[in-house]
Structure 1
Amino acid sequence: MKFDLLIAGGGLGGCAASLAACSKGLRVLMTEETDWIGGQVTSQGVPPDENRWIEEFGCTGRYREYRNRVRDYYLRNMPMTESPEYLNPGKGLVGSLCHDPRVTLAVLYEMLSPYLLSGQLTLWTDTIVSSIERKGAILQKAVVQNTVTSKKTAIDFNYIIDATEAGDLLPLAKMDYVIGAESKADTDEPHATEEREPHNIQAFTHVLAMEYREGENHVIPKPELYDFWKEFQPDFWPDKFLSFFAPHPITHEKREYVMFPHEDMFPLWEYRRIFSADSFSLNGAGDISLMNWPQNDYFLGNVYDVTQEEKEKHLFKAKQLSLSLFYWLQTEAPIPGGGKGYPGLKLRGDVLGTPDGLAKSVYIRESRRIKAHYTIREQDVSPSFQEGKTGKSYFDSVGIGSYSIDLHPSISGQNYIDIPALPFQIPLGALLPKETDNLLAGNKNIGTTHITNGCYRLHPVEWNIGEACGALVAYCIKNQIKPLEVRETPSELRSFQESLRADGFELEWPEDRIGG
C-alpha cells in the first residue's frame, strides 16, 4: 500500500497532522495502538491542561475549532441548567474545558470525517508500526501490525511522522535519540543534573474514572498489591503514599490535600472533575472525576527501552497503584470532622471505554526525544535568561505555547521540579531529526531537553506540533523540497510560515496582550 504520509500514533498530534495533511490533498494512513484516537484526552484520560489565554489566543485555528466543537457537543445534546460564556462541563480546576473523553473521541471523528468518508484518510486502530526499512537518511518502507489479529501489512510512504506517545519509531529506524536527563555539560541548564541520567524519566500515571454517589456502597475488592502500596513511602515523600499528603511541587514542603472542598485545602475531587452534575438537568446524575493526582504517579520503573516482561510488570503495578488509592479512598481516607472512607465512590469504566474503570493506556509524560537540528533549552524559556514577556524568538517559529516547567517525580528518585517558564514559540528545527530527511517528530518526542519537556508536553502544544508537521509534509511534497531545506532557505521558510498563518497558526505571542 502506498501513501503520501504515514502517521504513527492517533493522539492529538497525530490527528492534527492528519487534518493538516489531508486538507492539502495528501493521501494519509494513520495508525493508533489503542482502539480510541485522541491520546492524552481520550485513551489516557487527561483533560486539557492549557495556557491562561486559551479562550482568546495561544493555539492554532484548528485547535480552537476542536475546543468549540467540544462545547457545542454539550450544548446540542445535554439539557443545561446554566449558559456560561465559556462552558466548562466538569468545572474542573485544571482548565476551562474539563470534559468527558468520549466527547473528544466523537469530535475528532467528526473533524476527520470528510477525509475518512472520502478514503483520503485511512485510519487503522489497534495497530502499531512493527518495523521500518531505512537507507541512509531516508525511511523507505514500514510494516504495520494489527495487535488483535497480528496481521502485518507493508506500507510505502514518502514521509512518516512519529506521533507515538513514547517516540516508538526512533529505535525501529535505528536513530540516535535521548532519554532521561542530560547533564550540565550537555546543555548548561541551571536545573540539569551534574551527570547524564538516562533513568531520570518522569513518572507515568494510570488514570481511572470515578463517580461519587453519596449514601451508596460501591467498594471494590481489595487490590492484589494494596498492602504494598499502603506501606509505600519514597525517601522524598513526606508521608505514606496512600494519604492526603504530598510534596508541594514548587517548595517540596509537606502539603495536605482533601477529597472534597474543605477550608483552604486543595480539593482533589474538583481538580480533574469532568462532569459537574449541577450544570445539567439530569435526574440521578453524579459528579465524575478523573484520578490523575500526586498519589498515583508511578515512578518505580519505565515502560519503554525495557524488556516486555519489565514493561508488563510496571504497567501492572501502576494499575494496582491507582486501584489501591481508589480502595483506600473508599475505605480508609480520613473525613474532615471525623469518620473514614467514601464508599459512594464508584468506578466508571464506561467513561474510558474499559471494563475495569482505568484508562486504555497510561499517561506518559516524557518520551524518547530526537536529536534535532535545534534543541530547546531551559535558557530559551526562563525569565532568568530572557528579557521581556516571552521566551527566545525563533526565526523558524511554527507555533506558540505556554506552560511552566513542570517535571513530576522521576524514576531515578528526583522530586518535583516546577519553575517558571515564559510563553514560548515552537521552533521548526526542534521537529527535524539530524539524521533522517523524511521523518518528523509529531508529539513529545521533539528536540527538547529533560527540563524543557516539562513545558512542551501539554495538549495545545502537542496539537500545534502535529499540525505543523502535517502542514510541512504537504508543503514539501507540493514544492519538491526537503524539510531541512525549508528551514534553511529564507524564501521558502517565509513562504511556509505565510501558509501556516493563512491556516490559522499563531507564530508569535501578542506581547501587548499577555501581561507581565
Structure 2
Amino acid sequence: MELKQKYDVIVAGAGIAGIAAAVKAGRMGASVLLVEHYGFVGGMSTAGMVGPFMKHTVHGLPLVRGVFEDLENGMRRQNGMIDNGFYASAFRSSAYELLRAAGVTVLLHGEIARAQREGNRLAALDVLVDGREVTVAGDVFIDTTGDAQLVFLGNFPWVKGDEKTGLLQALTLFFRMGGIDIQRATDYVQANKHDFFDWMTYDFDFSKIVSVAGYWSNVRRAIAEKRLPPEIEYIFFTTLPGSGEGSFNTSNVLGLDGSSSPDLTAAELTGRNQVNQLVQLIQQELPGFENSYLVETAVQVGVRETRRAVGDYAVTGADVRNMHKFPDPVARSSYGIDIHGQKGEDSVLEHVEEGEYYEVPLRALLVQQADNLLVAGRCISSTREGHSAIRIMPTSSATGEACGALAALAVRNNQLLRDIAYERLKAEIAYNLSLDY
C-alpha cells in the first residue's frame, strides 16, 4: 500500500462509525484514508467483542440502513450473523469488503501522534508508521476514535463524564464460553424466574438470540464467600443459535478512565482476573454449564464512555425521553438511556416504547471552533445521559455515514461543512430517515 501525502477525507478510528463514514465518503467519490491503531477493523465490535446489536427498529422496520445494512448482509452471507448477533471474524471480513469496494485506503497499526491545527482547521495528522512520523494532510477530518482523539489533539472543546461528578461508566471485559447445554440452562432459568431480570423473555426461541441475565443468588453467595469481587452484580450472556456458545457481558471494572493508558492497563488486569473467577463459578454452579469452557476473552476491555466533543448541539437525556424530532436529523434511534454506574452511583436502564423513536441532529456532529472536523459514534456532542443512549453500534453507524456524506459533499463543492444545505445531505442519507420503504 502506498500512502499518499494528502486525502480528501481522513477518518480516524475504524470502529463501526469510522467504517460507515469511510465507506460512504468513498462511494461518493472522495479519496479516503481510514487510520486504525489495531491490526484489524471493527473497534469495540471486534476488539471488545461487543454484541449483539442493540434495538434499532420500530414495529420490525429498521431505523438504520445504508452501510449498516450492507455490513449485516455481508455477515449473513458468511453465516456469521444470526438474528442480531454476529461473530467478530465475520464483522471484520464484511467490513474489509465494503472498504475495498469503496476504494478506501486503510492504514492499520497507525498511531496518531499529533494533529496539526491552523486556526479553526485541522491541516494534517502526524501518524507513526514503521517507527517514524509521517504527515498526511486532508481537507475534512472525521473523528470516530470513540475517545475524541482528534478533538483532544487539536485542542478543540470536549467534556468527559457526568456533568456534576465527572464519573465515567463502568468498563467490561467480554468473554466467550463454549460447550453450553442451552436447553438445560434455560430450563433452569424458567424454573427460577425470581433469580433473573424481569425484562427477560422466557419463551426462549432457539432459532434466535437467547439472552439471560441474573443468577443473583449465585453471585451474592460467591461475593459473601470472597470468590467474586463485590463489583460483580449479575451474570449476563447471549447465545448464537446452535452454537453452544455464550458471550458474557458480566465483568464490571470500576473507578478507571478508559482514555488513560495506565488506567486501561489496570482495567485489563482487573477484568481478566474477574473473568477467571467468573468462569470457575459458572462451571461449578450453573446448570447447563457443567461441560463448558472458556473460548476467548476480548482483545481489550470494553469502554463505554470517555471524551465527548462539544458540538453545535448536545443531545440530552430529555431529547431521548421525549422522543425529540429535529429539523436537521441524521440518525434515528429507539434505544433508551443505559448507564452502567460507577462506584457510588446507581445504574440506569430505560426503554423506549415500541413504535417510538428519537432523532440525532446534524449539529451534534459539528465541533465548535472547527471548520473541517466532524465527530461520529460515541464521541459525538451530547450530555452524559444522551450519550448513554446514542452510543450503540447501529446509531454510531448512522452518524458515521452522515459524516462521510457531509465530508464528501464539502470536498465535491469546495464548501465549508456548515455552508452545505441540509437538504443536500438529507438526499444522500434518506434511507436512514424514513420508515416508508
TM-score (norm 2): 0.82
Matched-pair contact (CA < 8 Å) for 1:400–1:508: no
For residues 382-461 of structure 1, the aligned pairs below 5 Å read: 382=321, 386=322, 391-410=323-342, 412-421=343-352, 422-461=356-395
Match of 2:254 in 1: 299
Match of 2:203 in 1: none
Matched-pair contact (CA < 8 Å) for 2:311–2:381: yes
Match of 2:127 in 1: 144
Aligned: 1:211 with 2:178: yes
Match of 1:497 in 2: 426
Using the alignment, how far apart are the partners of 1:247 and 1:213 within structure 2? 21
For residues 362-373 of structure 1, the aligned pairs below 5 Å read: 362-373=301-312
Alpha-carbon offset, residue 62 of structure 1: 2.4
Using the alignment, how far apart are the partners of 1:335 and 1:157 within structure 2? 54
Q: 1:72 to 1:430 in 2, by over 3 A?
A: same
Q: 1:33 to 1:324 in 2, by over 3 A?
A: farther
For residues 112-261 of structure 1, the aligned pairs below 5 Å read: 112-115=99-102, 120-146=103-129, 149-182=130-163, 196-198=164-166, 200-212=167-179, 256-257=215-216
Using the alignment, how far apart are the partners of 2:43 and 2:173 within structure 1? 13
Using the alignment, how far apart are the partners of 2:94 and 2:301 within structure 1? 22
Match of 1:289 in 2: 246
Aligned: 1:507 with 2:433: yes
Alpha-carbon offset, residue 213 of structure 1: 5.9
The count of aligned residue pairs is 390
Q: 1:275 to 1:360 in 2, by over 3 A?
A: farther
Match of 2:274 in 1: 321
Match of 2:316 in 1: 377
Alpha-carbon offset, residue 245 of structure 1: 7.4
Using the alignment, how far apart are the partners of 1:246 and 1:213 within structure 2? 19
Q: 1:256 to 1:309 in 2, by over 3 A?
A: closer
Using the alignment, how far apart are the partners of 2:73 and 2:60 within structure 1? 10
Using the alignment, how far apart are the partners of 2:59 and 2:301 within structure 1? 26
Match of 2:225 in 1: none
Match of 1:230 in 2: none
Alpha-carbon offset, residue 345 of structure 1: 2.4
Matched-pair contact (CA < 8 Å) for 2:140–2:411: no
Using the alignment, how far apart are the partners of 1:371 and 1:106 within structure 2? 34
Matched AA of 2:315: I
Using the alignment, how far apart are the partners of 2:84 and 2:49 within structure 1? 13
Match of 1:330 in 2: 283
Using the alignment, how far apart are the partners of 2:43 and 2:299 within structure 1? 10
Q: Which is higher, the Rg of structure 1 or of structure 2?
A: 1
Matched AA of 1:39: G
**Cα-Cα RMSD:** 2.8
Using the alignment, how far apart are the partners of 1:396 and 1:99 within structure 2? 32
Alpha-carbon offset, residue 330 of structure 1: 2.8
TM-score (norm 1): 0.70
**Which structure 2 residue ranges, 5 or more long, are not aligned?**
182-193, 201-212, 219-233
Matched-pair contact (CA < 8 Å) for 1:371–1:433: yes
Query: Following TM superposition, where does structure 1 have runs of at least 4 consecutive aligned residues deviating by more than 6 angstroms?
Result: 244-250
Q: 1:54 to 1:165 in 2, by over 3 A?
A: farther
Question: What does the per-residue CA deviation read over 1:246-274, in whole Å, with 9 as the maximum and x for residues that have no partner?
Answer: 99899xxx964599xxxxxxx967x4213
Q: Decide which of 240, 244, 248 is 1:274's aligned counterpart.
A: 240
Matched-pair contact (CA < 8 Å) for 1:21–1:474: yes
Using the alignment, how far apart are the partners of 2:104 and 2:59 within structure 1? 29
Alpha-carbon offset, residue 54 of structure 1: 8.2
**Which structure 1 residue ranges, 5 or more long, are not aligned?**
76-87, 90-95, 183-195, 215-243, 260-266, 278-286, 349-356, 487-491
Q: Decide which of 346, 350, 361 is 2:293's aligned counterpart.
A: 346
Q: 1:405 to 1:213 in 2, by over 3 A?
A: closer
Alpha-carbon offset, residue 506 of structure 1: 2.4
Alpha-carbon offset, residue 41 of structure 1: 2.1
Matched AA of 1:169: L
Q: Secondary structure at the match of 2:402?
A: helix
Q: 1:448 to 1:249 in 2, by over 3 A?
A: farther
Using the alignment, how far apart are the partners of 2:131 and 2:265 within structure 1? 19
Matched AA of 1:49: M
Alpha-carbon offset, residue 478 of structure 1: 1.3
Q: % of aligned pairs identical?
A: 22
Alpha-carbon offset, residue 49 of structure 1: 1.6
Q: Secondary structure at the match of 1:298?
A: coil
Matched AA of 2:242: S
Matched-pair contact (CA < 8 Å) for 1:29–1:121: yes
